[in-house]
Structure 1
């Protein structure tokens, strides 16, 4: 997902919102002057963001095409979750209610329906991490934030799947839906077959109030803003009902991937268990406790994340590094361990 509070590179020169869209939205989200283009996501993202002001306050408005995977009801449930977290002490960018009092709106322009929501702009910057030896404070605060969200998720009314349903009565937000979306998205037959095997393993796992609930589902540093002493979690557009260990695995996968493949600090790999996972998980456990057996699922969920990254970045990796794509495919198919054998989770 794109960072939805900071302007994307190349977005030089603001462009007005299309006139038909302005007409559809002007009564729902009144502005001092018409909204202008602020940022657009990449090919794997999901909408266009416009900036506007209301009574001197800077705000952002996200416009997303509606479709089978995105409805007004599902977006509204995710926005309600974000608002509830904010009210309970998690730093997020809570949605603004429209003039009709709703957290999200659906408007139609021509033959296209759009889902829209708004929030206040903040001055925070996207988190930029350097040498992992210098990131201990961030790791602790990151783990604490995740633990707090998981603890709060245990009090959210829904925990197995969404309250909102489709015409057939199936939940609009669920792990089953996520599995189906990616099953269709894979461009490699062998990986798709391995994904079906993964589903069998997931279906055998226990699902309880203590290990499963509503998650942000993408809490990597690219979706965290830093403002003074605050860490602000943004972009809840893929929030889902999953095991809490899924998000822990997302964070671990993200930082190991950054250090080993996207930084000059790959030599720190052997230290990451001590300098990253240990402070991260100690802070997590200061806020939330998981059943001991959950930690044994970390490699399953790290491979789950690897599947999703394979699907989301398939074209990009194939064009830039086909050798890496082939290696990643084999890691997925054979469910190779992501972490060293001796790691924090194994020692639990």
Structure 2
């Protein structure tokens, strides 16, 4: 359900950033958006204004968002990232009633479609980008206000109304809680780098989007996110799934040599990701009936046997 923001708050945010309200148009966004996004123009250039709720007065959420901005700037140069534009007061974040606003320049490029997302050249760039993110965040000393895996568990557990899914989520929480959190395998991750969160420019370069959910997690979680959704979609095409996984893992490890013992956690964390995906979609649907494809994913993650879509990982050398 899209987040609604009062018109006067939107107008104030646009004014803080020097944006003409006549140029602003809300974007239709799928999934579970964490804020209102408007396309707009400033100084003759395309931009996006985003307003996100500040749910409490503790300052924790604002501090988290400041760390997201700092992370974006830290990654600049290592990977393509969006550019935050300052407000008229020179700030990258502006507090307006009940919300925080930011303005980013429109990045070059376009989203790739499902077919292009399997192109080996794109897969190598995608996975290599993920590896460079991990290499860069491993050296970052900030991020103290970002969420971590425990916050993620609580967020999705608190809204779950499906007893079977709640039990599965609890079990996965217990299993992941036993994983080591040393810096060789744990740090700040993107936490949602599916292909829809990348823009591909005409020269092939990629821009990373949506660092808003960056958190402290296992690096293998990010790799599992990259793999899990594609492997699910390719579950009836094992040869294509195997090629995709092998290409992605090789490109990732070329940029970030995750230790073999942490690579071994990828199947568990892929199940974790697909379970989280079901919980997120159930929350978005509310009382509406689940579509057939979502019922299929739910059935798969509730089956205690290994997920068939992940079987090809046993044929990928570093994960074998």
TM-score (norm 2): 0.87
SS of aligned partner of 1:126:
coil
How many residues end up aligned between the 2 structures? 309
Is 1:331 aligned to residue 276 of structure 2? no
Match of residue 265 from structure 2: 297
Kindly indicate whether the alpha-carbon contact (under 8 Å) linking 1:127 and 1:221 is maintained by their aligned counterparts in 2: yes
| CA apart distance, 1:327 | 6.1
Q: Which runs of 5+ in 2 are unaligned?
A: none
- Partner Cα separation in structure 2 for residue 135 and residue 326 of structure 1: 26
| Structure 1 position 22 matched with structure 2 position 11 | yes
Kindly provide the CA deviation profile for residues 109-162 of structure 1, in whole angstroms up to 9, marking residues without a partner as x. xxxx01211110134211113177x6110111111101100111111114xxx4
Gaps of 5+ in 1: 3-16, 165-171, 261-265
Equivalent runs, 1:1-348 vs 2, <5 Å? 18-26=7-15, 28-32=16-20, 34-42=22-30, 44-67=32-55, 71-86=61-76, 88-108=77-97, 113-130=98-115, 135-158=119-142, 162-164=143-145, 173-228=147-202, 229-260=204-235, 266=236, 268-273=237-242, 275-314=243-282, 315=285, 318-321=289-292, 325=295, 328-329=298-299, 331-332=301-302, 334=304, 336-337=306-307, 338-340=309-311, 342-344=314-316, 347-348=319-320
Q: How far apart, CA to CA, are the structure 1 residues paired with 2:231 and 2:31? A: 24
- In structure 1, what is the Cα distance between the partners aligned to 2:107 and 2:180? 40
User: Aligned partners of 1:39, 1:131: CA distance in 2, in Å?
Assistant: 24
Q: Which has the higher helix share?
A: 2
* Aligned mates of 1:48, 1:140 — CA distance in 2: 32
Question: CA-atom RMSD, angstroms?
Answer: 2.7
TM-score (norm. length: structure 1): 0.80
Contact 2:13 2:94 in 1 (8 A): no
Secondary structure of 2:211's counterpart equals coil
Name the CA distance, whole Å, in 2 between partners of 1:83 and 1:288: 20
Decide whether the 8 Å contact of 1:318 with 1:325 is kept in 2.
no
Distance 2:100 2:116 in 1: 40
